[in-house]
Amino acid sequence: MDGMVPLQKQLLDYTASLFQEGYLDDQFNQLQELQDESNPDFVVEVVTLFFEDADRLLNELSKALVQESIDFRRLDAHVHQLKGSSSSIGAQRVQRVCISFRNCCQEQNIEGCLKSLQQVKHEYSLVKTKLETLFKMEEEVVAGRG
Amino acid sequence: MDSHQLTALVVGDDRMLRIIHGKMLNSVGVKNQVVQNGKEAIHLHLSAQTFDLILIDMDMPIMNGIQAIKELRSLGICSIIVGVSARCMESHIQEFMEARLDDYFEKPLNIAKLTSFIHKI
C-alpha cells in the first residue's frame, strides 16, 4: 500500500514534465477526459493509432524524398496528414516541426525538406518513447492498486 | 433541445479524428454514426437517414467537405452542418459559408467548444 504513493507521484510528475517540456499540449488532456469506465484504454488506443499513422507516413516521406523527381504536392499531403494526427493527440513538438516542414514543401526546398524530415523523425521518436514510458507507469500504478 | 435527443453524423477520412469526435459527441450525450467520406454521408441520406447534426472534416481527399456539403444541401438536407478544418483563414471561412455550412471549428475539436455548441442547438 505504501509503495503506491511514490509510484503515483512519479506518474504525476512525469506527466507534468511532458507538458512543461512541450511534448504534449492540452489536446492530450482532452483525450484523458474522454477516457472512462466504458472505455478504459481509450487514450492508449488512440495514441497507438497515431503511432501506426506516423510510422506509415514517415516511411512514405522518406521514400518520397529519395525519388529522382520529388512530388512536393504529395509530400505536402503526407506532412499535412502527420500534422493533423499529431495535433489530434496533442503531440505538440511533432506538430510544430510539421508546420515548418510544410513551408519547405510549399517552397519546394529539398534541403529544407530533408532537414525537416530528420527533425520530425527525431521529435516523433522522443514523444513515442515518452508516451510508452507514461503508459508503462500507468500500468504499474494500476497493478499496484490491484 | 436536450442533448440526449440529438443525433449526429461524423464524416472524415482520418480514423483517429473519427474516433475522437465520435467519443466527444458520446460524452455530451449525442448519439452518433461515423462514415469515412462525403460519398458515404450522401449514401446514408439517400437511404432516408437523417441527423440533427453533421460534423464534417473539410479537408478530405476525393470528395472534400465543401463538395459534400453542396451535394447534401442540394438534396434538401437541413441538418446543422459543422465543418472542422485545419485551415481557418478568412478566404477559407468565406468558402465554407458559401457552401452553406452553419459553423466551423478549427481541428482538433475540444470538449468545451463542442459542449458550448451543442447547448446552443
Domain count, chain B: 1
Does some domain include residue B111? Answer: yes
A42:B86 CB<8 A: no
Report if residue B58 sits inside a domain. Answer: yes
- Please indicate, yes or no, if residue B57 is contained in any of the structural domains: yes
Is the residue at B56 inside a domain? yes
Q: pTM of this prediction?
A: 0.88
Give the A window 24-43 contacts with B, CB below 8 Å: 26-27, 30-31, 33-34, 39, 42
Q: Please check whether residue B1 lies inside any domain of the structure.
A: no
Please report the domains of chain A, with CATH numbers, ordered by start residue.
4-145 (1.20.120.160)
Q: Nearest 10 degrees: CA dihedral of A92, B83, B41, A90?
A: 10
Paired sense of beta strands B31-35 and B53-57, if any: unpaired
Residue B75 maps to which CATH number?
A: 3.40.50.2300
pLDDT in tens, A101-121: 999 999 999 999 999 999 999
A56 close contact with B: CB closer than 8 A: no
Per the domain annotation, does B55 fall within a domain? yes
**Residue B40 Cα to chain centre, angstroms:** 13
Q: Containing domain of residue B21, as a range?
A: 7-120
pLDDT in tens, A38-49: 899 999 999 999
Q: What secondary structure, in 3-state letters, does B8-75 show?
A: EEEECCCHHHHHHHHHHHHHCCCEEEEECCHHHHHHHHHCCCCCCEEEEECCCCCCCHHHHHHHHHHC
Q: Is residue B2 part of a domain?
A: no
pLDDT tens-digit map of A46-69: 999 999 999 999 999 999 999 999
